[in-house]
Amino acid sequence: MDIRTILSVAVIGFHATAAVYDRCLPGESCFPDDPVIINFGSSLDGKLLLPYMKEYSDVVLSRDMIWTKFPVGIVVAKTTQDVQKSVLFALKYNLLLSVSSSGHDFLGRSTAHGSLQISLANMTDTSINLTSTRNAAGEMTCESGNTWLKVYEEVDKVDRVIVGGSAHTVSMGGYTLGGGHSPMSRTFGLAVDNLLEVEMVDAHGRIVIANNQTTKIQHLDGSVTTSKDTDIFWALRGGGGGTFGIVTKFTYKLHYPATGVAVFACSYPIVRNDKTEIGHLVLQKFTSMLQNLPSEWGGYLIGVGTPNEDFSWGSISLFMNHYGPYNASTRSYMDELKNFHPEWQFYCQYKSENSFLDYEVTTKDPTYFNSYLFNTLMQKDNFTNDWFRFILTTLGTPLPQQGFLSFTGILLGGKTSSTGVHDTAVHPGFRSALMSLSFSVSMTGSNATGLREKAAELSPQLAVFGDGQYPNEANADLTNWQNEFWGSNYHRLLNIKRKWDPNNMFTCRECVGAEDWMTPQSDGSSSHGPNGPSSVLGK
Ligand SMILES: Cc1cc2nc3c(=O)[nH]c(=O)nc-3n(C[C@H](O)[C@H](O)[C@H](O)COP(=O)(O)OP(=O)(O)OC[C@H]3O[C@@H](n4cnc5c(N)ncnc54)[C@H](O)[C@@H]3O)c2cc1C
């Protein structure tokens, strides 16, 4: 079998939707011949993986396995020039592109059937500058394929900290471009608030260096232009991954370390083993304490709705981290919770760690998972009795087939509220939110029937309790995603998208500009395009 046949097999069925994106697919006369593909592969510092290669099957799985799809080839880029060559190759042959850093996306936006996927997972160089003129504690530049654990270890070596994700395996790319919350966001803001500069390959294959002062473009003829138009940097600070270009490097602010990190973990059942329901009282107490929480505290509220070994049911837990000395008065703010009905608690304890890294290494990441999410950004006044009822009823919802419902509330507020609503591209609701609340409907067996529909059904019911949604942890079947993800920042984002990528070189589901290429369907709905339901090999 030659490469062309293999590629055709890999994307069998995809042609039905080809017209949607007007891209050239294997089997069509416009598709590059084998020698052209092989030449392209050998021009790279990295490598081109094709479906018949063993390494292809090693990397093709999405971390959220529900979204695994089959690109016609995967460029495992090693350098910015590899990314540039890949964009130019895709431009020349009108290929569909997809972009991946870690492949963790909960909406499947980092892969697409029939696409040429550019994987940045092997672009992992980093550099630290402690004498930065832009930020007193220094700055760090990371290529997009780095994972947060590696970055945390490197900054710890120079006695600094950085704002990144709680998960060790998530990468810089989609995380940062979507906003990026952190266990330390209440002290230092979102990832986009800490972003100083990016290097990006744009839709024309040009290399762009953008920060909040200037945008420098290295054109294909070698000339360089610099302008004071900083629109693209603004858009990249929350406008979403896979949309405006491929960011190869991110430069972030570093911060000085605190003299210790205290961890506070506290957990209660929802229904005690004597059948008393205490969940709403626990939620009331937790959320009332969030209203005046010192900004040194960050962390997570986690709810689970399954039976416990002691015949109680469900749990509501707080996992918090305090950035500062153990004897600080801000740390003892949580004593009130420690003393709240100790007889109900599974556990409630403090632990003292030396550094953020010591705390961070204790978190565990799933390697692969099968989850549909829905999210809302909870505002100060949203923690009402109706919300408590919704949370507890939802956790108790029987799921079709083999499903498991849980939620994680990431604590916001503190420093995340000190940036203006239009200073970055994230939804304005982020700036007044106390929590980004994400529910997850996960498969526990091999049968996902009905789970996606359940998540889509519950998503609008949760949304009424907040203002906006976090695009990185949201539902894949939203109709009003423009407003839900970006609110009053959407109009500017769409204009920037149309200026920087007029031909929609970069397309993804529920991404800025997707309305320009989504196609109306006969049932009145819209096709979600390359990452969506119209792709034949899986929803
Ligand atoms: C276990 C787990 C823990 C998480 N923890 C956190 C957390 O603590 N905080 C938080 O905010 N979020 C968290 N998330 C959500 C996370 O932000 C998203 O999953 C995000 O999409 C991951 O980005 P990625 O680049 O690693 O993933 P990918 O799937 O590779 O990419 C996601 C999107 O970004 C695009 N993209 C990736 N890299 C680039 C690039 N360099 N340039 C342009 N586009 C790019 C892709 O095309 C895709 O659209 C978590 C997710 C998981 C699964």
Q: Which atom of ligand 1 is nearest to the CA of 470?
A: 11
The pLDDT of residue 531: 57
Shortest-distance Cα residue to atom 46 of ligand 1: 110
Above 80 in pLDDT, residue 35? yes
Q: How far is the CA of 175 from the centre of ligand 1 (A)?
A: 4
Choosing from 119, 147, 172, the residue where a domain stops is 119
Tell me, using a 6 A CB cutoff, whether residue 167 lines ligand 1.
Answer: yes
- Mean per-residue pLDDT, 465-478: 97
d(CA 316, CA 337): 13
Shortest-distance Cα residue to atom 34 of ligand 1: 174
Among residues 465, 440, 436, 304, the alpha carbon closest in space to that of 373 is found at 440
Does residue 337 share a domain with residue 414?
A: yes
Contact of 304 with 395, CB cutoff 8 Å:
yes
Above 80 in pLDDT, residue 267? yes
Q: How many CB atoms lie within 10 A of CB 144?
A: 31
The pLDDT of residue 21: 59
Question: Is the model more confident about 166 or about 143?
Answer: 143
Does residue 502 share a domain with residue 468?
A: no
Choosing from 232, 253, 274, the residue where a domain stops is 253
Of 67-71, 108-112, 275-279, 523-527, the range with the lowest mean pLDDT is 523-527
Tell me, using a 6 A CB cutoff, whether residue 319 lines ligand 1.
Answer: no
Does residue 179 share a domain with residue 59?
A: no
Residue 538 lies in a domain: no
Above 80 in pLDDT, residue 523? no
Among residues 238, 243, 211, the alpha carbon closest in space to that of 227 is found at 211
Does residue 323 share a domain with residue 467?
A: yes
Shortest-distance Cα residue to atom 38 of ligand 1: 173
Question: pLDDT band at 13, cuts 50/70/90?
Answer: very low
Supply the CATH number for residue 189's domain.
Answer: 3.30.465.10
Does residue 143 share a domain with residue 115?
A: no
Among residues 406, 254, 207, 443, the alpha carbon closest in space to that of 317 is found at 406
Above 50 in pLDDT, residue 425? yes
Question: Is the model more confident about 3 or about 369?
Answer: 369
pLDDT in tens, 477-505: 999 999 999 999 999 999 999 999 999 99
Residue 282: which region, alpha, beta or left (left: phi > 0; alpha: psi -120 to 50)?
alpha
Does residue 201 share a domain with residue 75?
A: no
Q: How many CB atoms lie within 10 A of CB 215?
A: 19
Does residue 231 share a domain with residue 216?
A: yes
Torsion angle defined by CA atoms of residues 520, 73, 442 and 465, in that order, rounded to the nearest 10 degrees: -50
Shortest-distance Cα residue to atom 31 of ligand 1: 174
Q: How many CB atoms lie within 10 A of CB 277?
A: 13
Half-sphere exposure of 254 (CA within 13 A, CB side): 26
Does residue 284 share a domain with residue 232?
A: no
Shortest-distance Cα residue to atom 39 of ligand 1: 173
Does residue 337 share a domain with residue 209?
A: no
Tell me, using a 6 A CB cutoff, whether residue 149 lines ligand 1.
Answer: no
pTM: 0.93
Above 90 in pLDDT, residue 519? no
- Give the structural domain span for 450: 261-483
Tell me, using a 6 A CB cutoff, whether residue 238 lines ligand 1.
Answer: no
Question: Is the model more confident about 532 or about 400?
Answer: 400
Mutate to test the pocket of ligand 1, among 62, 472, 505 (most ligand atoms within 8 A of CB): 472
The pLDDT of residue 461: 97
d(CA 83, CA 46): 10
d(CA 55, CA 122): 13
Tell me, using a 6 A CB cutoff, whether residue 109 lines ligand 1.
Answer: yes
Does residue 146 share a domain with residue 25?
A: no
Q: How far is the CA of 352 from the centre of ligand 1 (A)?
A: 30
d(CA 387, CA 33): 58
Residue 332 lies in a domain: yes
d(CA 113, CA 73): 10
Q: Which atom of ligand 1 is nearest to the CA of 436?
A: 11
d(CA 345, CA 329): 24
Rounded to the nearest 5°, which phi and psi values hold at 249? Answer: -135, 140
Tell me, using a 6 A CB cutoff, whether residue 365 lines ligand 1.
Answer: yes
Among residues 180, 178, 199, 200, the alpha carbon closest in space to that of 188 is found at 180
Q: Which atom of ligand 1 is nearest to the CA of 99?
A: 47
- Mean per-residue pLDDT, 25-40: 93
> Count of domains in the chain?
4
Q: How far is the CA of 247 from the centre of ligand 1 (A)?
A: 13
**Percent of the chain at pLDDT exceeding 90:** 81
Choosing from 253, 273, 302, the residue where a domain stops is 253
pLDDT in tens, 62-119: 888 888 899 999 999 999 999 999 999 999 999 999 999 999 999 999 999 999 999 9
Q: How far is the CA of 424 from the centre of ligand 1 (A)?
A: 18
Mutate to test the pocket of ligand 1, among 104, 168, 367, 497 (most ligand atoms within 8 A of CB): 104
pLDDT in tens, 168-206: 889 999 999 999 999 999 999 999 999 999 999 999 999
The pLDDT of residue 381: 96
Supply the CATH number for residue 363's domain.
Answer: 3.40.462.20
Distances in whole angstroms, Cα of residue 189 to Cα of each of 183, 376, 438, 497: 10, 18, 19, 26
The pLDDT of residue 17: 38
Tell me, using a 6 A CB cutoff, whether residue 101 lines ligand 1.
Answer: yes
The pLDDT of residue 4: 42
Contact of 183 with 170, CB cutoff 8 Å:
no
Mutate to test the pocket of ligand 1, among 175, 182, 250, 427 (most ligand atoms within 8 A of CB): 175
Tell me, using a 6 A CB cutoff, whether residue 106 lines ligand 1.
Answer: yes
Q: Which atom of ligand 1 is nearest to the CA of 245?
A: 43
Does residue 357 share a domain with residue 329?
A: yes
Tell me, using a 6 A CB cutoff, whether residue 105 lines ligand 1.
Answer: yes
CA 487 from centroid of its chain's CA atoms: 18
Detail the DSSP E strand segments found in 116-186.
116-119, 126-129, 139-143
Q: What is the mean pLDDT of the chain?
A: 91
Does residue 501 share a domain with residue 470?
A: no
Residue 537 lies in a domain: no
pLDDT in tens, 219-253: 999 999 999 999 999 999 999 999 999 999 999 99
Tell me, using a 6 A CB cutoff, whether residue 202 lines ligand 1.
Answer: no
Q: Can you give 235-248 as a three-state secondary structure string?
A: HHCCCCCCCCCEEE
